[in-house]
Every structure is written in C-alpha cells, then in structure tokens.
Amino acid sequence: MTSTNTQIISYSPSSSSKSTHQFTYEVLLSFRGEDTRHGFTDHLYEALISCGIRTFRDDEELERGGVIASDLLKAIEESKIFVIIFSENYAAARWCLDELVKISECGATEGRLILPIFYHVDPAHVRKQSGSYEKAFVDHEKEADEEKREKIQKWRSALAKVGNLAGYDLQKYHL
C-alpha cells in the first residue's frame, strides 16, 4: 500500500523506545463496529495479536449517545500507536468522534503515531466532512445547544487533523 508520506516501520517487541513512557498497548484500534468489526477489523486485530503486538480493541458496543467508557479512555492514554479505521458511518457515532478527539490529543505527544485507514471512504470526505460525514454532522447539529456545538467543533477539528495525516486509502485496493 502506498501513500504520499508512508514510512516503513519495523516492529520488534523487544526493541527499545526513545520514549520513557511505558505503554500498556502498542496499538489501539478505533473503528465503527457496525461497519468493520466482523471483517476488516477482526482480521487486522488477529494479525497484530499473532505477531505478538499488544493490541486494544474495544469489544463492547457502546450505547447510542453514551459516553466513552473509562477503560477506553485509559487504553487510549496507555497506547503508543493509534490505528483509526475511518468507514462510511464512523462519523455517525458520537462515541467514535469522542474517542477520536482523545486520540488526537494523546497522539500529539512524543513517541506516538496515528495511522488512518480509509476503509471504503474517500479521505477528502473525512478531512472536509463531506459525503456520509456531512450527513452525520447534519444529524449531530440538529437541535444542538451551545455546549454540544462546541463538542461538534472539536469533532470537526479532530477529523480534519487526522484526515490530513498520511495513511492508507483502501479504495485503491481490491480487498
């Protein structure tokens, strides 16, 4: 797979890190369960685990409109690499967007990497919140009060920031 700024990362579980922070997880997967859990995400998770890579995948579906569970927040804080699987309905899930904001904040710290994967979604739709992402935001903004509008702006900023990172556009491959 290629991207405009892809780096080859070799992984060795025993390799030393320049960071002094001890991470519980090497990789955290962020995804919309309905879109990718029983396919792409399961295969990616199993491949990472089989290579001995400590990987966090939230197996519990969050209740619609629910808040991020404290164990998920902790897992984000204790992860080194964030793989975000942007799918068609990712932006429709408030908890995915809350998770993305937290990942975006943590990913800005030294020694961490955010790797976006665009799973059957145009990367420009993520960056610019167009297509299915625009529809999701129209729904989020209906009857939003001031507090929710501020949260929506954080979601938009995180999508633009992470959507601009070099990643993998799976639309280019026949999977």
CA distance 140 to 98: 13
DSSP label of 68: P
The residues that bridge with 83 in the sheet, in sequence order, are 29, 115
Is residue 130 situated within a structural domain? yes
* Catalytic (active site) residue 34: no
Q: What would the pLDDT profile of 94-107 be if each residue is shown by its tens digit?
A: 989 999 999 999 98
Is residue 7 situated within a structural domain? no
Question: Tell me, what CATH number does 56's domain have?
Answer: 3.40.50.10140
Structural domain tally of the chain?
Answer: 1
pTM recorded for the entire structure: 0.80
Cα separations in angstroms, 75 against 103, 116, 118, 145: 10, 18, 22, 30
Q: What is the pLDDT of residue 68?
A: 60
Domain around 69: 25-172
Q: What is the pLDDT of residue 38?
A: 80
Is residue 109 situated within a structural domain? yes
Is residue 17 situated within a structural domain? no
Q: What is the pLDDT of residue 5?
A: 37
Out of 63, 99, 143, 146, pick the active-site residue.
99
The residues that bridge with 29 in the sheet, in sequence order, are 57, 83
Is residue 6 situated within a structural domain? no
Name the stretches of the chain with pLDDT < 50. Answer: 1-19, 60-65
Q: Which residue in 24, 92, 40 sits closest to 62, CA to CA?
A: 92
Is residue 4 situated within a structural domain? no
